[in-house]
Amino acid sequence: MKTTLVIMAAGLGSRYGGDKQTTGIGPHGEPLMEYSIYDAIRAGFRKVVFIIRPESKAVIEDLFGKRLSRFHAENGDAIEVAYAFQDFSSVPSFYHIPPERKKPFGTAHALLCAADVVREPFCVINADDYYGMDAYKVMHDALTRLPADGAALMVGYILKNTLSASGSVSRGICTVENGMLQDITERLKICASPSGGLWDADSGVTLSPDDIASMNLWGFAPSIFTALRRNFEEFLRTSGDSLKAECYLPSVVKAEHAAGRLNVRVLKSAAQWFGMTYQADSENVTNHLRALHDNHTYPEILFP
């Protein structure tokens, strides 16, 4: 069964302070999403969809699209490439965008913008995160068995493996029972506590280093777009007057689960996640990637 990798690359990266989706961070200037694409193709994915701002298409085509359209997996399969644009043209007709609104409408809206180009079971990721090859393998295999409706997948990471040495992080902390997601609680300022453990400085809640965190690595059937559309329209009706409010993908998953319309199986990963939350993270990420090339996890050049 064909599976698709969907990459959300339309974010503004406000904490990072730059266009981190295309920042060269690997030994030869590779952006982080190049590693995600390489790992996904190795795992069996044969289509890549970029969700981007319209003005970014030329850059993304030059960095990835043209090379991928010429690239073949080890078994000879060609790689299909498609683009979706997150902009204000995709909002429903009943909603009028405030003139002062500049921010995108969040990850749920971003994914909804890809509805016309995604017709297969798919995995969706952040462009600026490194997830590890094993995560794509377990996700691809599970997607090939995913029911067409009412079911989804999430790769959960151990919280201590997702932190930044450069500052606090925001994570969705998961409650999991018998391998199924029960709840996600957003913790917005996770950092070391005065006692040496972890806590959410925003709420004062103590956290376990072994808690399961969602890193926005989700797997869905195309039927999820109906739920995204329903929840996004409700968001616009209730929060559309705000200039900064966003409709987040985990919030949609949580709402659909609470309504009994979606069950989410958690695929656990013990891998070290890393990403570009702050500019100060770049040196650490570069060192991690260089080590992965040196130990032959990756070839010297990912896409010759």
Could you tell me if residue 300 is inside a domain?
no
pLDDT of residue 103: 84
CA distance 185 to 229: 23
| Helix or strand (DSSP H, E) at 43 | helix 32-43
Query: What string of pLDDT tens digits covers the 304 residues of the chain?
Result: 899 999 999 864 443 344 556 778 999 999 999 999 999 999 999 999 999 999 999 999 999 999 998 899 989 999 999 999 999 888 999 999 998 998 889 999 999 999 999 999 999 999 989 999 999 999 999 999 999 999 999 999 999 999 988 889 999 999 999 999 999 999 999 998 877 789 999 999 999 999 999 999 999 999 999 999 999 999 999 999 999 899 999 999 999 999 999 999 999 888 889 887 777 888 889 999 999 999 999 999 999 8
Could you tell me if residue 99 is inside a domain?
yes
- Helix-strand-coil split of the chain, %, nearest 5: 30, 25, 40
Could you tell me if residue 251 is inside a domain?
yes
**3-state secondary structure at position 230:** helix
- Length of the chain in residues, anyone? 304
User: What CATH number should be reported for the domain holding residue 24?
Assistant: 3.90.550.10
Could you tell me if residue 301 is inside a domain?
no
Tokens of 202: 């925003």
Could you tell me if residue 100 is inside a domain?
yes
The pTM assigned to this predicted structure is: 0.92
Q: How many domains does the chain have?
A: 1
pLDDT of residue 17: 40
Phi–psi pair at 195, nearest 5 degrees:
-85, -5
Could you tell me if residue 195 is inside a domain?
yes
CA distance 138 to 115: 24
Question: CB count, 10 Å around CB of 228?
Answer: 24
pLDDT of residue 18: 45
Q: Which domain holds residue 285?
A: 4-294
pLDDT of residue 282: 86
CA distance 182 to 175: 5
Tell me which DSSP letter residue 61 carries: I
CA distance 193 to 203: 12
Could you tell me if residue 244 is inside a domain?
yes
CB 143 within 8 A of CB 122: yes
With b for 16 or more beta-carbon neighbours within 10 A and e for fewer, the 173-197 pattern comes to bbebeeeebeebbbbeebeeeeeee
Could you tell me if residue 11 is inside a domain?
yes
